[in-house]
Structure 1
Amino acid sequence: MIKDRYFKKGYNQNNKSIKLNNLPFDIFKKMVPSSKEFVDKQFLLLKEELTPKELKLNFSHYVQLLHDQIYADFLKIQKTGFNKAFSDDLESGELSFEKFDKFFLSLSQSRKVRSGGVFELIIENLLKFLEYPIDTQKKIDNKRVDFVLPSVDFYKKNPLNTVLLSAKRTTRERWKQVVPEVSQSNQFYLATIDKKITSDQLKEMEKYRVFVINTLQNIDSISHYKEAANMVSFEHFLDFTLDHQKRTW
């Protein structure tokens, strides 16, 4: 019992502190930039040559481009981080399956969180570059919504002319988690680059008045995307939803 108590508190049998922060994944995390740092780096490079007009005409292209560039950047840094995290083990030849297993489990979980956060930041940065007024990460009907345009205050006064938007790189069943149950606004919009939404899923989303925003390339290449009444491109969303509603803001 005494051993267990000391171990849980981070002590060994000699009552010396165990360096818990030297685990491979802790080393890896220190080397990998935050989601915001990844997005800021690529967006700053993009802004050097991008104009608002060009972005608005080709929003789908730049959403996908930023996503792919950030992912490629992450893979490079991930390789360096992995080598550093296991450098001592590789030098000593004491490779442990348990260490690898824990590392990749933590890596898998963190990548899911990171990829979702990155996509939200991409959409946020691009919309702000076009100077759309926007509130981020606000609660509507007790559910957190990624973006409220123009603002939560406006929503309280004029919900019908407010745009509620969430961003999910992939949708699966998670879209239900972000849709307010009693949305007073006309529709709820879900931005994604997901190529695997089924026809049945789109029909179910339509029942909840959910419009899915996807890239032009994905819509043009997937037949049931083209046919879905509640699937629109990013360009269509800007021209026929945001710009239309903006007149009332």
Structure 2
Amino acid sequence: MFIRLIWMAAVVAWSKIQKWSVMMGFHPAWSEISTWIERSERLFIKKLSRNDTSWADSAKNGHQNGFFIPRPVAESDFFPELKNTNPAKPHILDAEYPAFWPASGEIRTATIKFFSMRNPDNKDKAKPRYEWQHTGVPKDQFRSLSPASLLVVGRLKQTLSGTKYWYIVVDSVSDEAEIIETRFELGATFHYGLFEPAVSAEPASESDQLITELTKAVKDGTLEQFIKEQTLPSPSILAARAQNAWLEENGFADLSPFSILHPGDAVMSISRDIEYSIYKQAEVRFRAAQVARLLLHGGGDPVVNLVRSFSELDSIFLSAAQMRKSRAGLSFELHVERLFKDGRVRYGAQSVFGGRRPDFVLPDVGALNEKGDAVIVSLKTTLRERWKQLALEKPFGTIFLATVDDRVSSEAIEEMARNSISLVVPESLKKAKESAYADFDNVLTFRQFFDDELRQKRPAFILPL
């Protein structure tokens, strides 16, 4: 019980020490979001598509003015039951209910409509429409959102001010979006889902096993030895484990991008899902051992040690956050390099030229120096404004920027095109409704990059078998 209390205290401390952004406009800080989550019995989280938000940025007031509810969620018992309220239109089912928007402190009348078939007076009446439209939402909170932003809806345990539902919109580039993705383990292919707020992110068996081991170490006086044994695997070891797990699960012998139908999706899954899961298991053990050393130092009172060592505890979790971000970038690099190796693509990694060090140069840095047909491939898991430095490399070779970020705006993509920079994204992100990639010619999939830009246009970059 004692160790379990220590473990719970560490988890609470971690959640409170997370970097919270200040309330800006209609996007609340995590402290407020987490309060509403704790009051809820169930959550609906959706990654907003362009259709869910484009109406808010339009000067015209269209007929939508809201978002769509996915069919599996609409057919669950999360939202109020829909009924026909207009006998003259039996094909329309709807429901009205009060919804609270904490960001603006207002209660609005929400409306959900489902057109079970097209209007009987129309010629195409036999074609069903599976659209659940949710309207009655504050336009300001959906305006100027980054692609792939999140909508979080909670159904309260107890009615508050006459409503059981609350709604918060979370911009995808905010710290709060990252916290939500981590807490609810929203994977690379996440679109929407229903969640139980009380469910721990860590499987009970893993947590219980760690608690048992820590308890035994304290009882046997071997805590220091236990702590020394907890280490974080090196990036290369993590990458190899994740790659092998994907290969075994999907039945491939290697990660050649010419034999995998969707190499970009494979890299995204390996990096963001498989490897991250492996890393978290090691991270929990490593950080728990560090916290245990602080709280149990000298056999003293854990509360006293907690207060006196709070700055050290703060440093532990700050280090954890920094390592997660740096790990993500290096992870992406190692997996893309594996594509090059297994695909027999000629490349140079981290080559220095002109005071710059791109992630990869194809076929090698010599081609850059000779001003030949060289390709510069830079990697960024998240873009934001950091891509602009790549424009300085334009005189040296053709620039491709690979990313797994689905939050890049149309304006940024257009500016990249003006700077002769092509984006390379996973296949599923290119066509995703939540991203802005589909309509741009300077956005290629990994499949297109390897097939068109390398095998077709630059066959000399690929070594013969």
| Shorter-chain TM-score tier | 0.7 to 0.9
Within 2, Cα distance between the matches of 1:232 and 1:40?
Answer: 27
Within 2, Cα distance between the matches of 1:39 and 1:192?
Answer: 17
Partner of 2:431, secondary structure, is: helix
Q: Counterpart of 1:86? A: 291
Note the C-alpha offset of 1:29: 11
Q: Counterpart of 1:227? A: 439
Q: Counterpart of 1:50? A: 252
Change (3 A) 1:55 1:39: farther
Q: TM-score, normalised by structure 1?
A: 0.80
Note the C-alpha offset of 1:156: 2.6
Output the amino acid matched with 1:197. V
Change (3 A) 1:190 1:210: same
Partner of 1:138, secondary structure, is: coil
Output the amino acid matched with 1:74. Y
Q: Counterpart of 1:41? A: 241
Note the C-alpha offset of 1:36: 1.5
Query: Which of 358, 374, 392 is equivalent to 1:180?
Result: 392
Number of equivalences: 221
Output the amino acid matched with 1:220. K
Change (3 A) 1:54 1:237: closer
Kindly provide the CA deviation profile for residues 54-80 of structure 1, in whole angstroms up to 9, marking residues without a partner as x.
744220221112111011111111111
User: Are the counterparts in 2 of residues 147 and 165 from structure 1 also a CA contact under 8 Å?
Assistant: yes
User: Are the counterparts in 2 of residues 39 and 122 from structure 1 also a CA contact under 8 Å?
Assistant: yes
Q: Counterpart of 1:165? A: 377
User: Are the counterparts in 1 of residues 257 and 339 from structure 2 also a CA contact under 8 Å?
Assistant: no
Q: Counterpart of 1:213? A: 424
Within 2, Cα distance between the matches of 1:102 and 1:53?
Answer: 41
Within 2, Cα distance between the matches of 1:53 and 1:188?
Answer: 19
Within 2, Cα distance between the matches of 1:71 and 1:139?
Answer: 30
Q: Counterpart of 1:59? A: 263
Unaligned runs of 5+ in 2: 1-226
1:187-198 matches, within 5 Å, as 187-198=398-409
Within 2, Cα distance between the matches of 1:119 and 1:218?
Answer: 16
Q: Counterpart of 2:326? A: 113
Output the amino acid matched with 1:229. D
Q: Which has the larger radius of gyration?
A: 2
Within 1, Cα distance between the matches of 2:320 and 2:269?
Answer: 24
Partner of 1:221, secondary structure, is: coil
Query: Which of 288, 313, 322 is equivalent to 1:100?
Result: 313
Partner of 1:69, secondary structure, is: helix
User: Are the counterparts in 2 of residues 164 and 188 from structure 1 also a CA contact under 8 Å?
Assistant: yes
Within 2, Cα distance between the matches of 1:90 and 1:73?
Answer: 26
Q: Which has the higher strand share?
A: 2
Note the C-alpha offset of 1:118: 1.1
Structure 2 residue 455 is matched with structure 1 residue 243: yes
Unaligned runs of 5+ in 1: 1-26
Within 1, Cα distance between the matches of 2:381 and 2:374?
Answer: 23
User: Are the counterparts in 2 of residues 135 and 151 from structure 1 also a CA contact under 8 Å?
Assistant: yes
Within 2, Cα distance between the matches of 1:215 and 1:204?
Answer: 20
User: Are the counterparts in 2 of residues 144 and 178 from structure 1 also a CA contact under 8 Å?
Assistant: no
Kindly provide the CA deviation profile for residues 39-63 of structure 1, in whole angstroms up to 9, marking residues without a partner as x.
0222234445314377442202211
Output the amino acid matched with 2:444. V
Query: Which of 262, 281, 299 is equivalent to 1:76?
Result: 281
Output the amino acid matched with 1:150. P
Note the C-alpha offset of 1:184: 3.5
Within 2, Cα distance between the matches of 1:152 and 1:29?
Answer: 42
Q: Which has the higher helix share?
A: 1
Within 2, Cα distance between the matches of 1:245 and 1:54?
Answer: 15
Kindly provide the CA deviation profile for residues 64-100 of structure 1, in whole angstroms up to 9, marking residues without a partner as x.
1211101111111111111111222333412132122
Q: TM-score, normalised by structure 2?
A: 0.44
Q: Give the % identical residues.
A: 27
